[in-house]
Amino acid sequence: MPIKIANSLPARAVLESENIFVMTEYRALHQDIRPLRLAMLNLMPTKIVTETQILRCLSNTPLQIEVDLIQTSSYTSTHTPEDHLLTFYKTFDEIRGNKYDGFIITGAPVEKMAFEDVDYWAELCSIMDWTRTNVHSTLHICWGAQAALYHHYGIPKYLLPEKISGVFGHRVLKPRENLFRGFDDVFRAPHSRHTETRADDVRANPELTVLAESDEAGLYIAEARQGRQIFVMGHSEYDADTLKSEYFRDLGKGMDPHIPSHYFTDDDPMKPPVVSWRSHGQLLYTNWLNHYVYQTTPYDLARM
């Protein structure tokens, strides 16, 4: 949360020059507070795991948040108990009349397919179009980010020669961007995908800005519309053992997966993983909630 200081305090100019978030007394007195309204379109088959990971990242903040869990109606997950979906999830038709401060679109295990071949593609396109007018800031994750960049901006994805899996170092390219308040110049984040969106394609579009990338993993974060749309290619929300579970799952299927890079102790899958991304992953979600949702969303969502 911001530091509230007197309007004329000399430290204000110094702190602002260091990219420290300060709030003047005037602004604090004129802020109205209400719970943030968020929704998450969960496209993962293991919905309970994904919702738990992301809600954990959203919960570490003093902000009060109300979250609607959304599923597609054109495709129903067979990996999540039906009673869980009926109890906790809504369809797009049930919420299309709502407006939200923030919206999250998760990844999905369909990245090898052409976008148009995905069963729920038409519905997803409708939802992505709807977010432009009914959501203040939308955070897209992994395949969800690829899908949004393709749908909104015509940016293609490319099949990689082999799956990229592991925890990689990334450079902050825009250190004064609010999303990176408190970040180190280099930070680590997990990736797990068979395809990529290329940073050069994103840079070629004047509506898009590349914010962070990796020498090994490529594009990591891009944004558009002054943070109204954020695209994250990795999985900062992953638990310590997520990549481990994926690796041994693929081994069990008779596949020959590469050992996730920079992840296991001594790169030995018989040894425990080393968690090196949790703090920056948490900070990513906290900064998004604070600076791209809470600080800029209208008090009356009807005015969005």
26 φψ region: left (φ > 0), alpha (ψ -120 to 50), beta (else): alpha
Q: Cα separation of 109 and 220, whole Å?
A: 18
Of the residues 57, 237, 280, 291, only one is catalytic, namely 237
pLDDT of amino acid 3: 45
pLDDT of amino acid 33: 65
Q: What is the CA radius of gyration of the chain?
A: 20
- Across 217-270, where does the E strand assignment appear? 218-224, 229-232
Q: Cα separation of 276 and 190, whole Å?
A: 9
125 is catalytic: no
pLDDT digits (tens, 9 = 90+) for 66-90: 889 899 988 777 667 777 777 888 9
Token pair for 26: 């005037």
How many CB atoms lie under 10 A from the CB of residue 171? 14
DSSP assignment of 158-204 equals EEEEEEEEEEEEEEES-TTSGGGTT--SEEEEEEEEEEE--HHHHHT
Of the residues 152, 191, 235, 291, only one is catalytic, namely 235
79 is catalytic: no
pLDDT of amino acid 1: 44
**Nearest one of 296, 286, 84 to 179, comparing CA atoms:** 286
Q: Cα separation of 222 and 173, whole Å?
A: 10
pLDDT digits (tens, 9 = 90+) for 86-137: 788 899 999 999 999 999 999 999 999 999 999 999 999 999 999 999 999 9
Percent of residues, the chain, with pLDDT higher than 70: 89
Residue that the structure tokens 């450079």 belong to: 171
The pTM assigned to this predicted structure is 0.89
- Crossing angle, helix 143-153 and helix 121-134, to 10 degrees? 80
pLDDT of amino acid 151: 98
Residue 48 reports pLDDT greater than 90: no
pLDDT digits (tens, 9 = 90+) for 261-292: 999 999 999 999 999 999 999 999 999 999 99
191 is catalytic: no
Query: Of residues 247 and 30, which shows the higher confidence score?
Result: 247
